[in-house]
A and B are shown apart, each in its own frame.
Chain A
Amino acid sequence: MGDLITLAVILLVTYMTGSLIEKAHYRKIKKREKALIGKTMVSYGIKTWDNTKKVKKIELVSGEVVISVDYFKTFAAGLKNLFGGKLNSIESILDRGRREAILRMREKAVGANFIVNTKVEQIMMNDPSNKNEYPKCALIAYGTAITYE
């Protein structure tokens, strides 16, 4: 019975800390995204662009993030796995991580007119043989920042 109480306490605490951190993070992400409205970022290449304008600077920019899933969300996702369907708890973690990576990339391209050919890659960083590890995921966003004269 002690196990159950310990588990419930851990779940409750990690749920509260997790959701507090998540809320704060989302607030930050939204604020930064709003500041970047109007800065162009596209996912396609330069082929459809014309080269009549003089280019001042071309730079490869990237942003990286490694995120991990907290105890509560790992537990909740594991339970939901029994029934299948959407794993809401994990979705927000990956969404946050990806947006953070893209924001870091965009913030590096100071003064650039556009970022083109944006790509997002993700790698699981878990040791596949270790089942007890909490899921963690590395996200990298990269693109070419172009500044016109």
Chain B
Amino acid sequence: MILTNIESVPGMKIKAQYGVVSGSTVRAKNAFADIGAGLKNVVGGELKSYTELLTEARKEATSRMETQAQMLGANAVINIRYATSAVTSGAAEVYAYGTAVYVEPVGV
């Protein structure tokens, strides 16, 4: 699966498109990570556990989007955008969306 956040796949020609596909997930970290992050907040710096949380959420959302694209028979998702929000405290929501397309190399 080719993923891009531009409107095309360089070196490829878009043969067909299948519309918008999306993936989203809401995740949270356990209480100990929350406490650790709360303490770390005092001295500042990177909150490793929350970075990890965001990474996990992004991966999950992306893979769900890919699943949708695969179900439609696409081999690439272009112009992907990520949006995040905080629904409840300590939880991260990641929403990924893009257009599922079928691409072929130029000149084939």
Contact = CB atoms under 8 A, between A and B. Distances in A.
**Direct touch of chains A and B (CB < 8 A):** yes
B83 A40 contact: no
Contacts of B14: 48
B91 A81 contact: yes
A43 interface: yes
B57 to A, nearest CB: 9
A87 B27 contact: yes
B28 A85 contact: yes
Interface string B6-42: 0110000010010110101111111101100000000
Interface residues of B, number: 35
Interface in B62-108: 78-79, 81, 83, 85-91, 93, 95, 97-99
Interface in A75-112: 77-78, 80-87, 90-91, 94-95, 98, 102
Nearest to B27: A86
Interface of A: 40-45, 47-48, 69, 74, 77-78, 80-87, 90-91, 94-95, 98, 102, 118-124, 131, 135, 137
Interface of B: 7-8, 14, 17, 19-20, 22, 24-31, 33-34, 53, 60, 78-79, 81, 83, 85-91, 93, 95, 97-99
